[in-house]
Amino acid sequence: MIVVAGATGNVGREVARQLIEAGKQVRALVRDTTASVPAGAEAVAGDLTDPSSLAPALTGADALFLLSGYPPEIFAEAEKAGVRRVALLSGGSAETGDRSNAVASYMIDTEDALRASGLAWTMIRPRMFMTNAFQWSPQIKAGVVRAPWPDVPAAVIDPADIAAVAVTSLLSAEHEGREYSVTGPEALRPGDRVRILSEVLGREIRYEAQPDEEARAEMLAQMPERYVEAFFSFYSDGKLDEATVFPTVEQVTGRPPRAFADWVRANEERFQ
């Protein structure tokens, strides 16, 4: 039995689906058991912000897929329930060691708490998700995408490939104690991604660089200031390298990661 937190999200849903395809029993940890989870998964209620609520989901489980940023007491609850192995979805910013950065700090803290536990662990550190392009959908329909950081490339990754690394880690002791930097096959600037979207979708889509202050104002309307400043530190100040391409997906899973153009083709209807 494997427990999957975030089973309604981009990565967690894929983790659950791929585990089920591999013939494993899966519990999808959700706050509301009426939530849509992958077919074959058992939805079990629990709140990651309240570790004491997780016992029904964790009892009898062998492994746990977990997201960063939740109370460290989760690991004690997992040990108590008999869980042996955790695959943690962290991020590249954990590698910076910068606890003054609001995003990096919660990933670093979660990783440290997991290392200090008695659980076997694998840290999975993906770079920018390909699914971030869905945020551009209204602009894509209008034919012009305005986005910041025009000169910052990122080796964007398909969440299904992140999930494949996590699934392999959950199923084999070979990956215990490993820290995996997970990327797609090429580093693309925002304009490169817009160009690929235009080519694959067969429509005229133009990229316009968004000034930092305009982007900052939009982001402040959507998230706390400390997180906005964290992203500006990453991309305006160059504190985070998301351009380096790592061979991790192929090394761990035996197949190469999906290219952005192929991901767009597979999700073309979602941009209509």
Confidence of residue 187 (pLDDT cuts 50, 70, 90): very high
What is the β-pairing status of strands 42-45 and 120-126? unpaired
- Smallest Cα–Cα separation from 130: which of 183, 90, 191, 167? 183
How many C-beta neighbours within 10 Å does residue 76 have? 15
pTM of the model: 0.95
Mean pLDDT of 231-252: 97
Structural contact between residues 78 and 64, judged by C-beta atoms closer than 8 angstroms: yes
Structural contact between residues 154 and 127, judged by C-beta atoms closer than 8 angstroms: yes
pLDDT value of residue 215: 96
pLDDT value of residue 193: 98
N- to C-terminal Cα distance for the chain? 38
% of the chain with per-residue pLDDT over 90: 97
Structural contact between residues 79 and 114, judged by C-beta atoms closer than 8 angstroms: no
pLDDT value of residue 272: 83
d(CA 88, CA 70) in angstroms, rounded, equals 11
pLDDT value of residue 131: 97
pLDDT value of residue 130: 98
Secondary structure of residue 261 in the 3-state scheme = helix
d(CA 184, CA 8) in angstroms, rounded, equals 22
pLDDT tens per residue, range 166-184: 999 999 999 999 999 999 9
pLDDT value of residue 33: 86
pLDDT tens per residue, range 28-65: 999 888 889 999 999 999 999 999 999 999 999 999 99
User: 76 pLDDT exceeds 90?
Assistant: yes
pLDDT value of residue 234: 97
pLDDT value of residue 35: 87
Mean pLDDT, the chain, integer: 96
- Smallest Cα–Cα separation from 63: which of 171, 153, 180, 176? 171
Secondary structure of residue 42 in the 3-state scheme = strand
Report the largest interatomic distance among the alpha carbons of the chain, rounded to a whole angstrom: 56
User: 222 pLDDT exceeds 90?
Assistant: yes
pLDDT tens per residue, range 96-130: 999 999 999 999 999 999 999 999 999 999 999 99
Q: What is the phi/psi pair of residue 38, to 5°?
A: -55, 145
Q: What is the phi/psi pair of residue 67, to 5°?
A: -95, 155
